[in-house]
Amino acid sequence: MRDGGYRQLTDLFELMRRFPTEAACRGYLLSRRWPQGFSCPRCGNNSYYFISTRHLYQCRACSYQASATAGTVMQATRTPLRAWFALIFLMARSKTGLSILGFSRDFGIPYKRALSMAGKVREAMAARDSRYRMCGLLELDESYFGAGGHGKRGRGTDKRPVLVAVSLKGEGPAHARMQVLSSLTSSDIKVVVKAGLEKGSRVRTDGLNSWPPALVGMEHEPSVLGSPQAASEKLPWVHILIANAKGILRGVHHGVRYLQPYLSEFCWRFSRRYFQPELFDRLLCACLDCGPQAGQALQLAA
């Protein structure tokens, strides 16, 4: 729908200057939803009236009225669009993850509603990344996230296993993906690998027995990692990413009940860290492409 052509926004001042009113926000949403001109979501007709007082497109053929937010994560929202824009801006750019409690206080939005808004934005991030398959040279590893039992560590605890993949470009990491699994069996890993990795990718892992059956069709490069030092030499980026994600979950969100949306948020931002001025627009477009039910399905699944 919207490949490339993202508009840049350098800082919060510019956000406030460009979107000073609700009308300015609605006008921008309409221009981003239908950049080539309006096309009726019901009948596909391209001919329309624009009702400027209500910021609606009305189809000339079937009279369907399309608003800026219908069919998006912002559908029927009671929250000012300026607050949505601020949330999207801040979530897209925050290095360590945005405190939703702080956001709700700063913008005078009830905490539960702010949590629900952030959940929808996270699902838009997850939906956008699920469109892409990782390829080329990858590091793949498993880790356990969550509170866990007292004194227990590593495999065999009640923490949740997470599959972590990092694609490499030159000397450094390019994209990241993290997926909560119900177990670290080959069959569970295989489902995620099949959905998220291109066949023929070169995949570096540790010596876990689950990998070979799960990585059929890949160029698998396992290494036996006897010590933490060996692990950080053979699979450096995946370990750095796991440590960073755990630090953010502990520090900013103080542990979370639903893990997957936070991991998806972390990976969305990591994979786009070199596009800082475009991030607001990229995330806004992802929110426009994601349906109004966003946030609910993910919470059930996580």
Q: Which is nearer to Zn ion, 62 or 230 (CB)?
A: 62
Q: Which is nearer to Zn ion, 60 or 220 (CB)?
A: 60
- In terms of residues, how long is the chain? 302
With b for 16 or more beta-carbon neighbours within 10 A and e for fewer, the 144-154 pattern comes to bbbeeeeeeee
> Amino acid identity, residue 293?
Q
Q: Which of 2, 27, 39, 45 binds Zn ion (CB under 5 A)?
A: 45
Q: Which is nearer to Zn ion, 42 or 194 (CB)?
A: 42
Strand blocks (E) in the chain: 48-51, 56-59, 65-66, 137-145, 160-169, 172-180, 202-205, 219-222
Closest by CA to 120, choosing from 86, 74, 80, 77, is 74
Q: Which is nearer to Zn ion, 41 or 292 (CB)?
A: 41
Q: Which of 40, 138, 184, 193 binds Zn ion (CB under 5 A)?
A: 40
Minimum CB separation of residue 153 from Zn ion in Å reads 59
* Cβ(294)–Cβ(127) below 8 Å: yes
43 scored as a contact of Zn ion (CB under 5 A): yes
Q: Which is nearer to Zn ion, 34 or 64 (CB)?
A: 64
Token pair of 75, please?
């559908």
Minimum CB separation of residue 33 from Zn ion in Å reads 15
Minimum CB separation of residue 65 from Zn ion in Å reads 10
Report how far residue 216's alpha carbon sits from residue 186's, in angstroms, rounded to the nearest whole number: 11
Q: Which of positions 56-75 make contact with Zn ion (CB under 5 A)?
A: 59, 61-62, 64
Part in contact with Zn ion (CB under 5 A); list of ranges 4-12, 40-48, 99-107, 219-227: 40-48
Minimum CB separation of residue 128 from Zn ion in Å reads 27
Q: Which of positions 120-159 make contact with Zn ion (CB under 5 A)?
A: none
Report how far residue 78's alpha carbon sits from residue 22's, in angstroms, rounded to the nearest whole number: 12
Part in contact with Zn ion (CB under 5 A); list of ranges 37-45, 139-147, 277-285, 292-300: 37-45
Distance of CA 31 to the CA centre of its chain: 23
Residues 6+ apart with CB under 8 A from 194: none
Minimum CB separation of residue 179 from Zn ion in Å reads 39
Report the DSSP pairing between strands 219-222 and 202-205.
parallel
Part in contact with Zn ion (CB under 5 A); list of ranges 25-33, 55-63, 79-87, 235-243: 55-63
Minimum CB separation of residue 47 from Zn ion in Å reads 9
Question: Given the rule CB under 5 A, which residues bind Zn ion?
Answer: 40, 42-43, 45, 59, 61-62, 64
